Amino acid sequence: MALTLREQQVKLIERISAWLEQEDHVQPAVARVLALLFVSDDPELTFDDIRETLLLSKSATSNAINMLLQVELIEYHHRIGERKRYFRLRIFEWQMIYKKLMQKRLEFHSILREVAKQRTQKTPEFNQKILEIANHMDKVTQEMIRLLSES
């Protein structure tokens, strides 16, 4: 049976998922599943708890859960003697999540260095500027990653 959510819980789910959709371009159903795990009274929910509470189809629920598992934002475990999985947040390794975001930025800086190298040689100042910026952004990003590792 579906969980009964208080009005404030519903509102928070809306706020969280709106943020995730707009800022991180997380797809709606995925955002709502994640949000539900933040606000539900029980921090561990089953497939059907999620499906029934959010009024999603099985396929949408399955997809959303598998996406969240893949990016390691949630995890599951079994309770002894039970078949179904209990899903919960994994945000407690949030440094890892932030680190991944930073790593992605580093890739972009590499592309920029490639650009600086391959550009026409007729614009040396511009090329140099791109290279400097790539290196500078890279240094700062590395520093951020270090900062996260210490946390």
- Which partner from the list its own copies, DNA, none does 57 bind, CB cut-off 5 to 8 Å by kind? DNA
Determine the number of helices (DSSP H) and then strands (DSSP E) in the chain. 6, 2
SS (H, E, C) 76-110: EEECCCCCCEEEEECHHHHHHHHHHHHHHHHHHHH
Name the segment binding DNA (CB under 7 A); options: 5-13, 24-32, 111-119, 134-142. 24-32
Q: Give the position of tokens 């990016």.
A: 71
Instruction: List contacts with its own copies (CB under 8 A).
Output: 8-9, 12, 15-16, 19, 23, 25, 38-39, 41-43, 91-92, 94, 98, 104, 107-108, 111-112, 114-115, 118-120, 122-123, 126, 129-130, 133, 136-137, 140, 143-144, 147-148, 151
